[in-house]
């Protein structure tokens, strides 16, 4: 009997398809080899240690694992956020606590060897980005380089859009197939198809061309719902940002009117230039302002 590829249950479809594909050790090993230029062949040596529901409250897009002498964090993103290194630092620290600190004696006189951290972000958004870029935590430090930092965390961002990073794609079929699927969905949308139809047509095309055939044939509905949820999530976030922006305008208009009544418009001008003073002023004028915090 032909073995049917396992597909993780995901009733709420919070995982991205990228994460599900590369949560399988065979695919993850292929990706690791492609990224590092290695040729390891035993996927059972991989110890997946992804922290569920740690930082990501919406779409789950991270896979972490121990392999050889490395602690690896792989993250899939459709935007390049300059704060990625800080998030990586927090996540990696939690991983070290979970897998190393709680199991070794760090108070003794003997040096405890720890796995070398590797943080890779796989980017496939619509904004043009280079094949590879390095984001550093130190770029966020205040002080303009006046102080010597005790910490650094680098995120290697790899563009995995179709026709980018050809060498990487050639070494990892799962990554190339995923890039082809996403490219087909976008092309179908550009032709005027609805998101639902764009995904359906792309899946049919991929199956016919042998792209992710096993997953898309045996688990078509699950894969489709993950893709649909991911794109719908982006729309939801965009709408929420628009709402927050509009609410922020209303708040500042109310502040202006109140300060005008108090003959304190000079304070308004200062508040527009100084975020800290703006918060102090809102505390004073609107004491019950907790709901404003994310908008200012």
From the list 161, 159, 132, 175, the residue with the least C-alpha distance to 34 is 175
Is residue 181 in some structural domain? no
Cα 16 → chain centroid = 10
32, two tokens: 């690791």
> Does 158 share its domain with 250?
no
Cα 204 → chain centroid = 28
> Does 24 share its domain with 119?
yes
| Range of 142-146, 165-169, 253-257 with top mean pLDDT | 165-169
Distance between CA atoms of 182 and 77, rounded to whole angstroms?
13
> Does 25 share its domain with 164?
yes
The average pLDDT across 40-65 equals 78
Q: Lowest-pLDDT range, 135-144, 168-177, 201-210?
A: 135-144
Is residue 4 in some structural domain? no
Number of domains in the chain: 2
> Does 47 share its domain with 164?
yes
The average pLDDT across 43-48 equals 96
- Indicate the pairing of strand 116-123 with strand 47-48: unpaired
Contacts of residue 294, Cβ cutoff 8 Å, sequence gap at least 6: 244
- The number of C-alpha atoms within 13 Å of 46 and in the hemisphere containing its C-beta is 24
- The number of C-alpha atoms within 13 Å of 139 and in the hemisphere containing its C-beta is 12
b/e 124-146 (16+ beta carbons within 10 angstroms → b)? beeeebeeeeebebeeeeeeeee
Is residue 210 in some structural domain? no
Q: Per-residue confidence at 174, pLDDT binned at 50, 70, 90?
A: very high
> Does 47 share its domain with 161?
yes
pLDDT tens digits, one per residue of 243-268: 444 456 667 778 778 888 888 888 88
- Indicate the pairing of strand 70-77 with strand 154-159: unpaired
Is residue 203 in some structural domain? no
The average pLDDT across 156-179 equals 97
> Does 23 share its domain with 117?
yes
> Does 154 share its domain with 253?
no
Statement: residue 4 has pLDDT above 50: no
Q: Per-residue confidence at 72, pLDDT binned at 50, 70, 90?
A: very high
> Does 41 share its domain with 125?
yes
The average pLDDT across 2-17 equals 50
Is residue 67 in some structural domain? yes
> Does 255 share its domain with 160?
no
- The number of C-alpha atoms within 13 Å of 260 and in the hemisphere containing its C-beta is 6
Question: 186 or 235: whose pLDDT is higher?
Answer: 186
> Does 43 share its domain with 165?
yes
Secondary structure class of 186 (helix, strand, coil): helix
Is residue 30 in some structural domain? yes
95, two tokens: 């991983």
Torsion sign, CA atoms 9, 13, 14, 17: positive
Domain span at 68 = 17-140+149-171
Distance between CA atoms of 289 and 4, rounded to whole angstroms?
55
> Does 158 share its domain with 255?
no
């Amino acid at each position: 009997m032909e073995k049917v590829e396992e597909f993780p249950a995901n009733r709420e479809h919070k995982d991205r398809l990228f994460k599900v594909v590369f949560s399988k050790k065979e695919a993850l090993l292929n990706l690791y080899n492609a990224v590092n230029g290695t040729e390891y062949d035993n996927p059972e040596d991989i110890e997946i240690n992804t922290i569920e529901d740690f930082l990501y409250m919406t779409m789950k897009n991270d896979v972490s694992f121990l392999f050889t002498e490395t602690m690896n964090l792989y993250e899939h993103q459709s935007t390049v956020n300059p704060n990625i290194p800080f998030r990586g630092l927090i996540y990696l620290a939690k991983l070290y606590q979970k897998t190393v600190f709680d199991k070794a004696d760090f108070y003794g006189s003997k040096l405890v060897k720890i796995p070398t951290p590797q943080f890779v972000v796989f980017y496939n958004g619509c904004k043009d980005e280079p094949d590879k870029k390095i984001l550093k935590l130190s770029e966020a430090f205040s002080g303009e380089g006046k102080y010597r930092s005790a910490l650094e965390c680098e995120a290697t961002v790899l563009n995995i859009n179709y026709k980018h990073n050809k060498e990487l794609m050639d070494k990892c079929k799962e990554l190339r197939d995923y890039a082809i699927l996403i490219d087909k969905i976008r092309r179908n949308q550009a032709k005027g198809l609805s998101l639902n139809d764009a995904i359906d047509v792309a899946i049919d095309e991929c199956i016919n061309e042998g792209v992710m055939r096993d997953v898309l044939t045996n688990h078509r509905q699950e894969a489709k719902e993950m893709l649909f949820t991911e794109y719908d999530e982006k729309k939801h976030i965009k709408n929420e940002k628009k709402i927050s922006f509009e609410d922020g305008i209303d708040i500042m208009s109310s502040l202006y009117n109140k300060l005008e009544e108090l003959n304190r418009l000079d304070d308004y001008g200062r508040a527009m230039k100084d975020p800290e003073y703006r918060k102090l002023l809102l505390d004073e004028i609107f004491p019950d302002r907790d709901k404003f915090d994310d908008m200012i």
